[in-house]
Structure 1
Amino acid sequence: MKEHLNFESLKRLSLTLRWLSPLAFFLTSHLLAGQVDSARASEYTITKRLLSIENGLASHEVFCGLQDSSGFLWFGTRNGLNRYDGQHSLLFTRQRDRLQENKVVQLAKDDANRFFILYGSSGFQLIANGKVDIMDATTQRIQTLTAAFPNLPFKEKDVYWVANDGTGEVSILTVSPFRYWKYSSKTGFRLRFEMKDWKANGMEYDYRVSGPNCTFTAGKALLKLNNQEIQYLVTDNGVTAFRQHNVLRSLPIGFTHKNELLLTYNTAENPDNFAIDKLSKHGKLETIADPSEYNLGPVKSRYWFQVASGGDATAFYIPTDALFIWNKNAFLRVVDRSELKGFENLFVYQLFPDSLGNIWVCTSLGVIQVKLNKNRFKPYFSGSQQNIQPNSQARGIYADRAGNVAANIWSHTFTQQANKMRALQHQEIHYSLVKHRSALYSGGYTLFRYDIETNKAKPYPAGLGSEIWSMFSLNDSLLLMGRTEGFSIFNSNTKRFDSLPTRNTPGANAKFVYRFFRDNDGMLWAVAENGLYKFQTISESRKPTADNSNWSIAKLQSPFLNTLSLLDAYRDRDGIFWLATNGEGLFRWDLKANTSRQFNITAGLPSDVLYRIEPDEFGNLWISSDYGLIRFNRKTFQVSTYTTADGISHNEFNRTSSFKADDGRLFFGGLNGVNAFNPSDFRTDSSTLDVPFRIISFSQFIGSKNTLVNKTAELLKTRKITLAPSDKFLTVDFQLLDFTKNEGHRYAYKIDGFDGDWNYINENSIRISGLPHGQFTLRIKAQNREGAWNRMELSIPITVLKPVYLQWWFILLILVLFTMGVFLIIRLRLKQLAWEKRKLEEIVNERTMQLKQSVSEQSALLMEKDVLMKEIHHRVKNNLQVISGLLELQSKTLTDDTARTALQEGRNRVRSIALIHQNLYQLENLSTINLKQFIGDLCRQVKSVFQKQKDVTISIHVPELHLDIDSAVPIGLILNELLSNSFKYAFSNVEIGMIGLEITELDEGRYQLRYSDNGPGLPEDFSLTSAPTLGLQLIKDLSRQIGGKVQYQTLNGAVFTINFTNREVRKTQD
């Protein structure tokens, strides 16, 4: 805690600062507004930044602060209580969150993660006003002290200070009487000590401002009312009372490693020079003659305006100089006056440590975050160590066992011998630096021999060429050089240069050769930007010479290597190549198995641009990058990254800039000189990042309300998320509480049961939508700027409820309703069918009666029609018979044979038609005739006419076939003509006449008529198409009428073939 000025001085300072405070706020320095590059003070690296209203704090004035059990920081300000997560500040106020006041002057946390919030009166001083709230840091529920503890052993208005002492208990100071209480959730309130010698009544000094004068740390408490009253040191071993005499101002410093209380003070005799006392075990104050014994040398004999202690650190402030911090091991200048505008008006209220080693200094201008790290890196030739070369980029490096270090820093070669630094300027940039033949050789475009003792360099202009990026001493005379374009060799005896060609392979010429190295088998390799090159000598002696014909340089052919841009390579004892690339991270390449594995940012590296690789003796590879120095374990693949916060001079390193000394020390060059270290100093470092990783906020779109609802408190309580089917999406905000600048944080999330791989993001917020119903787990992990993945992950179960239509009870209900519905439908349908059946039976009966009557009537009509048709056919037949008789009578009166023959033929044709009508009225079916019966009757009728001429045998083959009358009449007439012709003309020259008549059914409705006789047939020159006789013309025309065509041939007589169809087929064809 902090000792204020005495009352009169405090009043004067209060009046001064009352009008200076606004100006101080306005002049807050931009130098501390963000993360500041680390300052190095001999053995320590100091990293700092200022947080104020620009970072979301409610006020410039921050009176107090602490870290809760979840890792969040809480700050008490003039305008409310802030929770800080490293990126955002959450504000609690009287108006919105029912705090008793907005000015929070002190905070304390118990072992149940509850806060004791002490409020102050308005004005500049930290004057307690007797109001105390209790806040649950997890649920953020706020109650008054009296409401939270109904059986409080003292009155809330009598509390004038609360604090933590590092034990998990809350220390409480009350008045009336003055008492010191301790509280924990397990033991409750217990009285620790009563200050009986203090009297509140009639005091000129207001006890309500005395709380900050007390110190609480490591279970000990220094209780102080003012400089004149007795002070009490309360420890587990008892209470020590003491009084300081003739003291103007007394400021508690803290405790030594032996738990001895240290105080600094001034007296009226020497007001401008503070002295330091130590409280002995016997309660006596002893002056410390040599403060450097406690690393407090700068404290003595200076005037200190303010001292504030907290934990193991104490802040010292002088407005005209700087802000210092003492951590028992060192006294360090943290903030210079020039770094912070308004520094002269700074007021330091309190400081406290967090779990990550940061120190938070609460001031009138905001909160200063300070990180002190023991520096294990030793810088060489950085901008702060030399002003000879403004551009302090390092390239080639060399160091010997004597501690001498040399490096090419841009256009200078620097050497450090003990505490003596020298530099030699060149006319060009120099890259490579190597020890060869007891001298250093440095390369730019030209090769130089550098003499450390004389600090002079001798050029060898004969070797002028492209830049020399790397060199390797083959022996006492030969120096191998890797250039921007290819290789060359220098003989230091003859001073001769030779180029070294590679094998004549397309694309084999080396570009930008960054390193040479020998592997464990003694094989010499070169690392170029475009691949690996293998060197061999081909002479009988196997000894390298400067003759380029003695060398064989071959590029290692590999499709894998051809895709990479190399910056460095290393081959370990197992033959594994480790490849540093420009943009693709690190590769582990097994040449024999031709397998590779990549390590990049997702594997924990801070960058994918890697410059140099140097192995140590502990199985690690030290790799420089464009953001930090990496320690990579070859077996476990664990990664540790070191940045300016750990003591290196700059986060970005350079190509070709590293060196491993014979004593194991490693050197890496970057944009600000060279960094040296011993890897053994880092053996105990953990590769695991273990910092709090918390949910900041959670919002869920509630479909039933059609709005986005903040459900952070519910998620923190239940640790699970439940989504209804109508909930469209959710958002989760989270934060890695390492309290560094958030630009470097990376995150990854994965939904187990939905995602196959991790999704990498740069934002600390995710939005999820479109999840199907089921059980899932949302996993989130965090990575810091140095590439380390945090050990702690967030794991949130997510339940997406099934839609109502997929719930078992809904399905069961639907099945029951469906069954009932089907049952009711069936019942109704059965009733309806029964009714319809009765109705139908009535209709059927009625229709049956109607049909019977109609059928009866139709039958009568049909019978009448049949009788009528038969009568018609009978009368037609009779009429035709009459016509036939008339023709016969007429023929008898004629004397002309031709006319008589014509009448006889006509009479035959009429009789054929009459025969058809006779068959029709004799059959039941009046529309068709029995073709077989009809043809038989026709043949007998025609034969009876001509029987007297000659005996003729007729062979008939006709199937049982009923043919329509439209087809039967033409068939009858055709047969009449054919039979008549055969009887008249065919059998004159034969003894027995034979006629064959055959009808076959070719297909449905298609038939073939074949008629033949054994007569001489038609003349050879006879043509059916131009037949002059009426009979043949009738045959041809009638055949066409029934869909056929007459074909004739003479085959042992005349043969007529006619293919014809019935009426139905002809209708289809038409």
Structure 2
Amino acid sequence: MTGFSQFVKRNGFFAFYRCSLLLVFALTGHPLLAQNAPVPANSRYTITKQLLSIENGLASHEVFCGVQDTAGFLWFGTRNGLNRYDGKNCLLFTRQRHQLQDNKVVQLAKDDANHLFIEYGSTGFQLTTNGKVDVMDVTTHEIKTLTETFPNMPFKERDVYWIANDGSDELSFLTISPFRFWKYSSKTGFRLRYEMKGWNQSNVSLDNRINWQLSTFGNGKALLKINNQAPQYLVTNDTVFTFTQTDVLRSLPIGFTRKNELVLTYNTQGDTQHFTVSKVTAKGRFESVPDLGKYHLNAIAGRYWYQIVTATNSLSSILYIGTDALYLWTENAFLKVLSKPDLKGFENLFLYSLFPDNLGNIWLCTSLGVLQLRIEKNRFEPYFSSSQQSIQANSQARGIYADKTGQVVANIWSHTFRQQNGNKQAVTEATEQIKYAVANHQSALYVGGFSLFRYDETKNTLIPVPGGLGSEIWSMYSLNDSLLLLGRTTGFSLFNSKTQQFDSIPTPNGPPAKFVYRFLRDKTGTIWAVAENGLFKLTADDRPPTIDRRPSTADHRQSSAVNGQSSTFHRQSSAVNRQWSMTKIHSPAINALSLLDAYQDADGVFWLATNGEGLYRWDSKTNAIRQFTITAGFPSDVLYRIEPDEFDHLWISSDYGLIRFHRKSFAVNTYTIADGISHNEFNRTSSFRASDGRLFFGGLDGINAFYPRDFRADTNLLRVPLRIIAFNQFVGSQNELVNKTAELLRTSKITLSPDDQFFTLEFQLLDFTKEEGHRYAYKIEGIDQNWNYLNENSLRISGLPYGTFTLHLKGQNGEGAWSTRELTIPLTVLKPFYLQWWFITGAALLFLLAVYLFIRFRIKQLAEDKRKLEQTVNERTVQLKQSLSEQSALLQEKDVLMKEIHHRVKNNLQVISGLLELQSKGLTDETAREALREGRNRVRSIALIHQNLYQFENLSTIDLKRFVSDLCRQIQSVFQKQKPVNIHLNVPDLHLDIDSAVPLGLILNELLSNSFKYAFNAVAAGEITLEIRSKAEGRYELQYTDNGPGLPSDFDPTKTLGLQLVNDLSRQIGGKVQYSTQGGAAYTIQFTNRETRKNED
């Protein structure tokens, strides 16, 4: 009776009729704890599960129902409200905040228009619907009652007692008064599918609203049931079958087969503790199931089941025994998914509903939360994991070897294990060294640790080879029938199995190798070694190596931790050492890499696995290199081992999963614990490719083996939706952050005003896995050239320029695959009003108008000013004319006066000249007469200047050229009785002020008079050259020469009045006399005009 008491206590909210039935079962006296029917092992399947509850954001641990909408979000109805789950966060809707009709949501369903139908339950623990139904638009979250949404529906909202999805595009409605079954879609509306006339009031002993869980919907079909005694209706698309189960206490539907057969399990009054399995055929016949194994029903029959819930696609069910476990039934398997010790409070668990999502998960809504389950067939076979052997607690795998007979040998930490035909065997070894490499050499197995061991199959033990102690042996390779190549922590060595001797192999062109992880042979027969510090090539000193060209099963792939001990070898055979050496490959492309493995493909291209830098493709011929990292879809950049398959894939182990990488398309798939491997982290040097193509990879929990052909249908495309979770925009006009999620979902675009400073966007990859490894990337088309990568599911954008852009978002799951469904959001940053075309156009028009008005105003103003100016000018003109008339008269008077003065001065000078001439005639002294004649010439030269002044209009300057010419003629006329003299003049056309002209005239008079008097006594004809040049503004040069003998060498110029006068006059006009004898006398005088002398003073 204990089991029954616990059951009643756990399910106290059940209706009374259920309790009475259970009482009947309990009276049979069989304890429920005594049932332990065998269940098939789950090793062929991987079961991933997690429980979501209050800790994950659900409003209550009691979750009644769930459904997935078109966008991929999950919705859960709880006792305390409605939750939307995106794989990371739960969004809560309640009556208080979102105007739901109630908080206790007992059923959810969605239609083909992405509307969510929300059905509420009454208060208390009974699961009775209360006749209240809401309809939510899941995009905008707008909520209306069922009556408001469908005012013309053919029944009343309060008569609806159940709504369900059946896996098709139509919703199922059950109503009372009378009992009817309706189908609904947005395209066809409501249609009456069937009326259950057999359910009359006499059949229904309790409130029908409690009995909703008795009906089952799935795969487009429905089993309508109100209790075990009333008729049951199996409704398909085109048929309705009615059947009644007699002598049945509890009848639980299991599900529909692919042949549309309904499978049921039930107990009877004759055998309350053991359930029988039967089926209702597609033609409505109630029959037993003759072959239970065909539908995997063996483990169901004969047991007592507390509860069974069927998924909406009706292809799977969850079965529950409170004292045992949860089981999953499908047509292909029956699996234990959760045992009682796995979940606290398991014995009090109650199952409410089960539904699948679009990604292959199934979700079980229970009284303790939501259990997420993912069931997949396991294509990996484990070896020597912690669950398969207990001898070695540390189950890290190292070296692996497998042969054609099916024998698998592996080093698991300090032990070596063998398995063949399902039989596992541990190999004994006295020292229990950590084991690394394992290889087949000459039909014998060798194992490498710090020592080299040979396996003795008859004794099942490892025997150490003498002389082989040194640093760890990570890898081995059989060179020929006698030589075994060893890769150690420090360098290389050779073991000769015939002589049982060891020797080291030198590396002449570089530092010694460290941690030699693999040996491989290319198609030319060259042996390569992969060490942590680079690639090495095996060469022979005097002859090529003898290579065993049989298919090598010793090309093994192992992995492990490192131990840096120095090597010690017994050098017993120098002949071996002389034949071989290792040459390090030097290339700038790979010199700095930390290698863990390498593979050379048929094209000669090396694929390099590195410790933290991903995968490199290196073409040694062209030295071209390309890197593949997390951004290319890898789950990690720490890569341990590479094994090829026959389908152009490279299988690469990492510290987070096993990677399948296509050599040509670069497509990536990652396999983790969820896919059946024993541990996500693998090991160095731990892999092997068998002769039949089977691959083995070792990790932290044993070995995983598989055939690559089983994965050919896998795709690297991640068809998981990426959805917007929240969008908040800082609105400058409100000066606050505003939630605009609904607006973005409705319009699918973002518009920023000029004063909107930034926005934040949250998004989520709806794969409903743990958040570990999720990455995101965004790119703003029109700004960014490359993707920007994020480790969080949110971004903040600010400082965008004005314009129209497109925001691209994509997500990457934990296995490294990028989503094929990108989010593409048009993004517009509006220009401020002063940069809008209409404002610029208006401003330009206003500016032009203002310019026009200003011009008009200025024209008018200028016209007025012009009129005033003209008036003033006219007035001033009259005044000026009058003034000019007066001044002209004055100037004329002045000119007349000046001319009169110059004329009178000239006349007076001529009178003086005449008087001097008369005086000279009365003198008998020749010297005195000569002095008077010179004086008269000087006076005449001055008179000549005044004559030029009054004869021309300009009274302040004289025409220098005319003046010089007149002066020369005048002086020549005085001395015309003497020898003929030719005077050559070169004087420019310029006017010289009177203050400069008078001294210059006197200077010329003295020079000419001197030449006529003294220069030509000894020559037949005289030559005088007089040249005046303008040197600069206001500066002139006088050059005077004659062809006379010049001045005597003992001539004293201070005693001659004429030359003294020349010097004094030259200084008066700012000049200086320079004298030289060059075929005659030569004078050079620099002089200036009056204006220049003023400026200099």
> What is the TM-score when the length of structure 2 is the normalising length?
0.87
Give how far 1:861 is off. Answer: 2.1
Over residues 515-553 of structure 1, what are the superposed CA-to-partner deviations in whole Å (9 max), with x where a residue is unaligned?
Answer: 112233433222222333333446568536972322354
Give how far 1:75 is off. Answer: 0.5
Question: For residues 453 and 718 of structure 1, do their structure 2 counterparts lie closer, same or farther at Cα, with a shift above 3 Å needed?
Answer: farther
Question: For residues 928 and 428 of structure 1, do their structure 2 counterparts lie closer, same or farther at Cα, with a shift above 3 Å needed?
Answer: same
Once the two structures are superposed, the pairs formed by residues 534-549 of structure 1 within 5 Å of their partners are 534-537=537-540, 543=546, 547-549=576-578
Indicate the residue corresponding to 1:397 in structure 2. 400
Structure 2 CA distance for aligned equivalents of residues 655 and 788 of structure 1: 24
Over residues 284-323 of structure 1, what are the superposed CA-to-partner deviations in whole Å (9 max), with x where a residue is unaligned?
Answer: 7667799666445554555544332223332233444433
Structure 1 CA distance for aligned equivalents of residues 1026 and 49 of structure 2: 126
Q: Does 2:1084 correspond to 1:1064?
A: no
Gaps of 5+ in 1: 16-38
Q: Does 2:491 correspond to 1:486?
A: yes
Aligned residue for 2:643, secondary structure, equals: strand
Indicate the residue corresponding to 1:842 in structure 2. 871
Question: For residues 141 and 935 of structure 1, do their structure 2 counterparts lie closer, same or farther at Cα, with a shift above 3 Å needed?
Answer: closer
Q: Does 2:410 correspond to 1:381?
A: no
Structure 2 CA distance for aligned equivalents of residues 992 and 42 of structure 1: 148
Give how far 1:654 is off. Answer: 0.9
Structure 1 CA distance for aligned equivalents of residues 286 and 896 of structure 2: 158
- Range with greater deviation from structure 2 (538-547 or 458-467): 538-547
Structure 1 CA distance for aligned equivalents of residues 836 and 964 of structure 2: 85
Indicate the residue corresponding to 2:32 in structure 1. none
Indicate the residue corresponding to 2:479 in structure 1. 474
Counterpart residue type for residue 1000 of structure 1:
I
Question: For residues 875 and 73 of structure 1, do their structure 2 counterparts lie closer, same or farther at Cα, with a shift above 3 Å needed?
Answer: same
Structure 1 CA distance for aligned equivalents of residues 609 and 772 of structure 2: 25
Structure 1 CA distance for aligned equivalents of residues 685 and 6 of structure 2: 61
Counterpart residue type for residue 1048 of structure 1:
Y
Question: For residues 152 and 304 of structure 1, do their structure 2 counterparts lie closer, same or farther at Cα, with a shift above 3 Å needed?
Answer: same
Indicate the residue corresponding to 2:361 in structure 1. 358
Aligned residue for 1:403, secondary structure, equals: coil
Give how far 1:905 is off. Answer: 5.6
Gaps of 5+ in 2: 16-39, 548-572
Counterpart residue type for residue 361 of structure 2:
N
Counterpart residue type for residue 520 of structure 1:
K
Q: Does 2:336 correspond to 1:333?
A: yes
> In the alignment, is the contact (CA less than 8 A) between 1:414 and 1:421 conserved in 2?
yes
Q: Does 2:894 correspond to 1:865?
A: yes
- Range with greater deviation from structure 2 (1029-1038 or 255-264): 255-264
Structure 2 CA distance for aligned equivalents of residues 153 and 812 of structure 1: 60
Q: Does 2:655 correspond to 1:651?
A: no
Question: For residues 1040 and 505 of structure 1, do their structure 2 counterparts lie closer, same or farther at Cα, with a shift above 3 Å needed?
Answer: farther
Over residues 603-640 of structure 1, what are the superposed CA-to-partner deviations in whole Å (9 max), with x where a residue is unaligned?
Answer: 22222222111122333222111111112233433222
Give how far 1:193 is off. Answer: 3.0
Structure 1 CA distance for aligned equivalents of residues 583 and 951 of structure 2: 119
- Range with greater deviation from structure 2 (905-914 or 57-66): 905-914
Question: For residues 851 and 432 of structure 1, do their structure 2 counterparts lie closer, same or farther at Cα, with a shift above 3 Å needed?
Answer: same
> In the alignment, is the contact (CA less than 8 A) between 1:40 and 1:46 conserved in 2?
no
- Range with greater deviation from structure 2 (528-537 or 166-175): 528-537
> In the alignment, is the contact (CA less than 8 A) between 1:414 and 1:424 conserved in 2?
no
Indicate the residue corresponding to 1:560 in structure 2. 589
Aligned residue for 1:462, secondary structure, equals: coil
Q: 1:999 aligns with which of 1017, 1021, 1027?
A: 1027
Give how far 1:511 is off. Answer: 2.5
> In the alignment, is the contact (CA less than 8 A) between 1:691 and 1:738 conserved in 2?
yes
Give how far 1:431 is off. Answer: 0.9
> In the alignment, is the contact (CA less than 8 A) between 2:640 and 2:654 conserved in 1?
yes
Question: For residues 324 and 975 of structure 1, do their structure 2 counterparts lie closer, same or farther at Cα, with a shift above 3 Å needed?
Answer: same
Q: 1:974 aligns with which of 1003, 1015, 1034?
A: 1003
Aligned residue for 1:560, secondary structure, equals: coil
Question: For residues 974 and 686 of structure 1, do their structure 2 counterparts lie closer, same or farther at Cα, with a shift above 3 Å needed?
Answer: closer
Indicate the residue corresponding to 2:92 in structure 1. 91
Over residues 558-597 of structure 1, what are the superposed CA-to-partner deviations in whole Å (9 max), with x where a residue is unaligned?
Answer: 3323243322222233333332222232233344454444
Q: 1:439 aligns with which of 437, 444, 448?
A: 444
Once the two structures are superposed, the pairs formed by residues 167-178 of structure 1 within 5 Å of their partners are 167-178=168-179
- Range with greater deviation from structure 2 (841-850 or 45-54): 841-850
Indicate the residue corresponding to 2:602 in structure 1. 573
Structure 1 CA distance for aligned equivalents of residues 546 and 6 of structure 2: 85
Question: For residues 982 and 580 of structure 1, do their structure 2 counterparts lie closer, same or farther at Cα, with a shift above 3 Å needed?
Answer: closer
Over residues 33-61 of structure 1, what are the superposed CA-to-partner deviations in whole Å (9 max), with x where a residue is unaligned?
Answer: xxxxxx99311111111222332222222
- Range with greater deviation from structure 2 (800-809 or 828-837): 800-809
Q: Does 2:1050 correspond to 1:1048?
A: no
Question: For residues 1020 and 521 of structure 1, do their structure 2 counterparts lie closer, same or farther at Cα, with a shift above 3 Å needed?
Answer: same
Give how far 1:732 is off. Answer: 3.5
Over residues 252-276 of structure 1, what are the superposed CA-to-partner deviations in whole Å (9 max), with x where a residue is unaligned?
Answer: 33344554444444566765x3423
Give how far 1:1013 is off. Answer: 4.8
Structure 2 CA distance for aligned equivalents of residues 670 and 969 of structure 1: 124
Structure 1 CA distance for aligned equivalents of residues 578 and 642 of structure 2: 32
Indicate the residue corresponding to 1:198 in structure 2. 199
- Range with greater deviation from structure 2 (703-712 or 409-418): 703-712
- Range with greater deviation from structure 2 (654-663 or 288-297): 288-297
Indicate the residue corresponding to 2:560 in structure 1. none
Aligned residue for 1:341, secondary structure, equals: coil
Question: For residues 794 and 935 of structure 1, do their structure 2 counterparts lie closer, same or farther at Cα, with a shift above 3 Å needed?
Answer: closer
> In the alignment, is the contact (CA less than 8 A) between 1:533 and 1:553 conserved in 2?
yes
Counterpart residue type for residue 1003 of structure 1:
K
> In the alignment, is the contact (CA less than 8 A) between 1:931 and 1:958 conserved in 2?
no
Structure 2 CA distance for aligned equivalents of residues 152 and 892 of structure 1: 160
Structure 2 CA distance for aligned equivalents of residues 261 and 160 of structure 1: 24
Indicate the residue corresponding to 1:369 in structure 2. 372
Q: Does 2:426 correspond to 1:422?
A: yes
Aligned residue for 2:428, secondary structure, equals: strand
Q: How many positions carry a matched residue from both structures?
A: 1036
Once the two structures are superposed, the pairs formed by residues 753-902 of structure 1 within 5 Å of their partners are 753-772=782-801, 775-799=804-828, 824-825=853-854, 827-874=856-903, 876-877=905-906
Question: For residues 1012 and 635 of structure 1, do their structure 2 counterparts lie closer, same or farther at Cα, with a shift above 3 Å needed?
Answer: closer
Aligned residue for 2:125, secondary structure, equals: coil
Counterpart residue type for residue 493 of structure 2:
S
> In the alignment, is the contact (CA less than 8 A) between 1:472 and 1:516 conserved in 2?
yes
Structure 2 CA distance for aligned equivalents of residues 991 and 325 of structure 1: 151
- Range with greater deviation from structure 2 (693-702 or 526-535): 693-702
Structure 2 CA distance for aligned equivalents of residues 599 and 229 of structure 1: 66
Q: Does 2:501 correspond to 1:496?
A: yes
Structure 2 CA distance for aligned equivalents of residues 1040 and 680 of structure 1: 121
Aligned residue for 2:223, secondary structure, equals: strand
Indicate the residue corresponding to 2:1061 in structure 1. 1034
Indicate the residue corresponding to 1:35 in structure 2. none
- Range with greater deviation from structure 2 (401-410 or 299-308): 299-308
> In the alignment, is the contact (CA less than 8 A) between 1:274 and 1:299 conserved in 2?
no
Indicate the residue corresponding to 2:983 in structure 1. 955
> In the alignment, is the contact (CA less than 8 A) between 2:13 and 2:125 conserved in 1?
no
Give how far 1:479 is off. Answer: 0.9
- Range with greater deviation from structure 2 (1015-1024 or 399-408): 1015-1024
Indicate the residue corresponding to 2:550 in structure 1. none
Aligned residue for 1:210, secondary structure, equals: helix
Over residues 439-498 of structure 1, what are the superposed CA-to-partner deviations in whole Å (9 max), with x where a residue is unaligned?
Answer: 221111211112244231111241222221110122332211111222211011211011
Indicate the residue corresponding to 2:554 in structure 1. none
Give how far 1:377 is off. Answer: 0.9
- Range with greater deviation from structure 2 (848-857 or 488-497): 848-857
Counterpart residue type for residue 742 of structure 1:
E
Once the two structures are superposed, the pairs formed by residues 404-419 of structure 1 within 5 Å of their partners are 404-417=407-420, 418-419=422-423
Counterpart residue type for residue 196 of structure 1:
K
Percent of paired sites with the same residue:
66
Structure 1 CA distance for aligned equivalents of residues 960 and 228 of structure 2: 152
Give how far 1:346 is off. Answer: 2.9
- Range with greater deviation from structure 2 (525-534 or 360-369): 525-534
Give how far 1:864 is off. Answer: 2.6
- Range with greater deviation from structure 2 (770-779 or 138-147): 770-779
Structure 2 CA distance for aligned equivalents of residues 1000 and 942 of structure 1: 18
Q: 1:506 aligns with which of 503, 510, 525?
A: 510
> In the alignment, is the contact (CA less than 8 A) between 2:13 and 2:126 conserved in 1?
no
Structure 2 CA distance for aligned equivalents of residues 606 and 933 of structure 1: 110
Structure 1 CA distance for aligned equivalents of residues 722 and 461 of structure 2: 57
What value does the CA root-mean-square deviation take over the aligned residues? 3.6
